[in-house]
Amino acid sequence: MMSVPQLRMESTKGQIGITTIQPVQEIEQQPADLEIQQPKADLSIETTPGKLTIDQSQARADMDLKSIGRRIEEFAQKGYSDWLDGLARMAQQGDELMKIENGGQPIAEQAKENGESPMFEFNIGFVPSANSVRTNYEPTKVNIDWQVNKPVIEARINKPRHSYKPGEVHISMKQWPSLMIDVTGQEIDQKK
């Protein structure tokens, strides 16, 4: 009998343990700071008041309610006109008397002309006369001027707040590998 050695191996696999801590990231974004100012519009208004004028001097004159100044002016004008008329009449009558030799009766005609009252003509009249009151109206004037002011906008951007904690990986040997070898002998019969 012969003894043959035998190997007996027993192995244990190694195991690695991995522990992971996840990374932490935080981002906070604050809104922008915004300031808006709107100045009021500049407005200016200029008004020229309306003006109404009423002239009733002609109507008052038609009703014989004349001012003293107007009466003096009319009397002066009438006196001047009558003086001119009288001057012209006397010149004409003087010329007629100078030519008395031409015949006719200039003295009698002149006496008749100078002695008669003038004939006055009268027709229907209205007191005061139509359209004797004059009115004039200047309307109100309004000038409006405005200026629009633009808004004043001020913006400040806030940076984001960012924090980051990196993750971690821990590796450990959960089980170490092992190998056991055992040698045993076994007898074998040999027959020759």
* Beta strand segments in 68-140, E: 134-138
pLDDT of residue 186: 65
**pLDDT exceeds cutoff 90 at 108:** no
Chain CA centroid to CA 93, Å: 82
**pLDDT exceeds cutoff 70 at 192:** no
pLDDT of residue 40: 92
pLDDT of residue 187: 64
Higher local confidence (pLDDT), 128 or 123: 128
Average the pLDDT over 112-132 and give the result: 72
pLDDT of residue 76: 92
What span, in angstroms and rounded, lies between the C-alpha atoms of 126 and 19?
126
* Mean per-residue pLDDT over the chain, rounded: 85
pLDDT of residue 97: 82
Tell me how many domains the chain contains.
Answer: 1
What span, in angstroms and rounded, lies between the C-alpha atoms of 54 and 136?
7
Average the pLDDT over 138-149 and give the result: 92
Average the pLDDT over 124-143 and give the result: 82
User: What residues make up the domain containing 134?
Assistant: 2-188
Higher local confidence (pLDDT), 88 or 63: 88
pLDDT of residue 190: 61
Q: Do 95 and 104 touch, CB atoms closer than 8 A? A: no
Higher local confidence (pLDDT), 128 or 81: 81
Structure letter (DSSP) for residue 73 = H
